[in-house]
Each structure stands twice: as structure tokens, then as C-alpha cells.
Amino acid sequence: MKMAMKDGQILIKEADQNQFMVIKSWNKMKWKRGEQILVGTADLELLNKLAGLIRLPQPIEQQRQHLIAIQGSVNAERMNPNPVPLVTYPVKLKLFQHQVRGANMAMITFGFVSPKKLCRECGCHMDAEVESDICECCQDDRRG
């Protein structure tokens, strides 16, 4: 099976009969008869299903990991008890907490802000690449 990603679309060519039937049963990809390829939007659901079926090529796996980071960051922001605006929003009045959460989730989803995760202790934002669940300031408080 050959796989490529072009303009946000996953293209699959030369899938064997079993792979073709499994992929077709998901109803996430369409068969283009003229080109003899399967085409579908490269969303997280499709990429996770394909990852369960075969080993994804490196660029497609990186896109999948990026989408997982975005989803995790949005979910963390949704449950954040004390949301802080990620950017200065162009509004006159102070936003309510649910409005700050919604605006932050939109900024993360649409790529205006890089995915972040929340500190388990104080709720501040950390880079998604940081392995610890606790920010540096909370770690310093624990040490001394």
C-alpha cells in the first residue's frame, strides 16, 4: 500500500483487497475510479484508524501526533478551573471564565497558538513537549 498526504487529504493507492474493504467500511474515504486511489480528509479519526491498520509514513505520523497534541490541549483548556487568556482579545469588557475558555480553545484549534498543556498543580500553561505534569514554579516550591 502506498500512502501520501496532499493539501490536507490522505491518498492511498495499491491497497490489497482486505485493506481496501476495511478502509471502505469506515466510510471516511472515497474511491476515485479514474485514478484508482482512495481519498479522505486527514482528520484525527481517520489517521488513528489507519495507524491501527498499518504503520504510517513519518510525515503522516507527525501530523497525527500534532493533532493529538491539539486535542489534548483543547481538552485540558476545557477543564481548566482558572483560565487565563492566551492572547489579548480585542474586547472592551472583561471576559467571563467560560468565554476565556472558549476563546482559548478556538485559538489552539485554529493554530493561532501552539498546543500547550496545563500544570496539574496551579493550572498555568506549559509547552506540550515538556514531559512533567508540573510547571517549573511548582517544582521549585516543592524543593524549597
pLDDT score recorded for residue 118: 64
pLDDT score recorded for residue 80: 86
Which of 5-9, 10-14, 118-122 has the least mean pLDDT? 118-122
- pTM comes to 0.78
Of 122 and 89, which is predicted with more confidence? 89
- Cβ contact 4:32 at 8 Å: no
3-state secondary structure the chain: CEEEEECCEEEEECCCHHHHHHHHHCCCCEEECCCCEEEEECCHHHHHHHHHHCCCCHHHHHHHHHHHHHHHHHHHHHCCCCCCCCCCCCCCCCCCHHHHHHHHHHHHHCCCCCCEEECCCCCCEEECCCCCCCCHHHHHHHHC
Is the pLDDT at 124 greater than 70? The verdict is no
Confidence band (pLDDT; 50, 70, 90) for 109?
very high
Across the range 111-124, mean pLDDT stands at: 72
What count of other Cβ atoms lies within 10 Å of the Cβ of residue 32? 12
pLDDT score recorded for residue 130: 61
Render pLDDT for 27-67 as a digit per residue (tens, 0 to 9). Answer: 999 999 999 999 999 999 999 999 999 999 999 999 999 99
Q: Rounded CA gap, 27 and 5, in Å?
A: 18
Across the range 94-123, mean pLDDT stands at: 85
- Domain assignments of the chain as residue spans, ordered by start: 1-56
pLDDT score recorded for residue 26: 95
Render pLDDT for 70-104 as a digit per residue (tens, 0 to 9). Answer: 998 899 889 888 888 988 999 999 999 999 999 99
Q: Which residue has the cell 500553561?
A: 125
Joined together, the cell numbers standing for residue 120 give 496539574
Q: Assign residue 95 a region (left: φ > 0; alpha: ψ between -120 and 50; beta: otherwise).
A: beta
